[in-house]
Amino acid sequence: MAAVTTASLCPGLGKPRRGHAKLPRSTVCHCLPARRTEEVLNRRDALLGVLFSSAAASSAATLLAPAEAFAETAEVQEGFTAYEDEANKFTIVVPQGWQVGAGEGSGFKNVTAFFPDQDANSSVSVVITGIGPDFTSLKSFGNVDEFAENLVTGLDRSWQRPAGVKAKLLDSRASNGMYYIEYTLQNPGDKRRHIVSAIGMAFNGWYNRLYTITGQYFDDDEESAKYRPAIEKSVKSFKFT
């Protein structure tokens, strides 16, 4: 997965534009006043937490340990189970019978993933990352449309030669203190991955944490796409406790 770079946040970096040559990735963005450059770079670093979610979910079946030690689950309706994480203070509804894995790693504080036995390409994950004290709410990243655009632009590499991953934003909206974003990712020659994501923030008494809930499946794979309703329900069900 590609990481967010300054090029994804500044029109003067990344794709060459008329009268604005492409600069090295390490170059500081001079398109912004100096007092805003640090702010943009901080937003870039915080957005990495969102990008880590897809990588974490993709490797959930092989890298995460079973999560028996987490809070007990309780049946909420036919075909679904309510999973509660007491340590990280959230609940989420997931399809009954899905596997649960959890772990920690470089770049994120905690990841919990849910996936069916028969299809590792379909999953729902909750990734928690620590962020700086300057980010007091999601609005610190800008409004939901700005957040979504920066996120998807940071992932898109279709403009490269040869072309890289193509990212396309489908929808973005804010509701109940959360940002909801829907987009697709497709590597050249590969199937198109559909992503539905919810982003929220919470304070644990020591520092702010960014929660990224990511559901993913393949649009053009019948076995994977059949989980779409369940995945969308799961992402929307996320709540802080």
Q: Which of 60-64, 121-125, 147-151 has the lowest mean pLDDT?
A: 60-64
Task: Tell me the pLDDT band of 108, cut-offs 50, 70 and 90.
Answer: low
CA 88 to chain centre: 17
Task: Tell me the pLDDT band of 133, cut-offs 50, 70 and 90.
Answer: confident
Residue 67 pLDDT > 90: no
Helix count and strand count (H, E) for the chain = 5, 12
Task: Tell me the pLDDT band of 146, cut-offs 50, 70 and 90.
Answer: very high
Residue 23 pLDDT > 50: no
Alpha carbon of 17 to those of 183, 206, 219: distances in Å? 25, 44, 33
- Residue, of 134 and 161, whose pLDDT is higher: 161
- Residue, of 168 and 58, whose pLDDT is higher: 168
Nearest CA among 207, 211, 206, 144 for reference residue 181: 144
User: Is 131 strand, coil or helix?
Assistant: strand
Task: Tell me the pLDDT band of 53, cut-offs 50, 70 and 90.
Answer: low
What pLDDT sits at residue 129? 87
Q: Parallel, antiparallel, or unpaired: how do β-strands 90-95 and 239-240 relate?
A: antiparallel
The architecture (CATH level 2) of 6-240 comes to 3-Layer(aba) Sandwich (3.40)
pLDDT in tens, 162-221: 999 999 999 999 999 999 999 999 999 999 999 999 999 998 877 889 999 999 999 989
The domain spans of the chain are 6-240
Mean pLDDT of the chain: 75
Q: Are 150 and 140 in contact (CB under 8 A)?
A: no
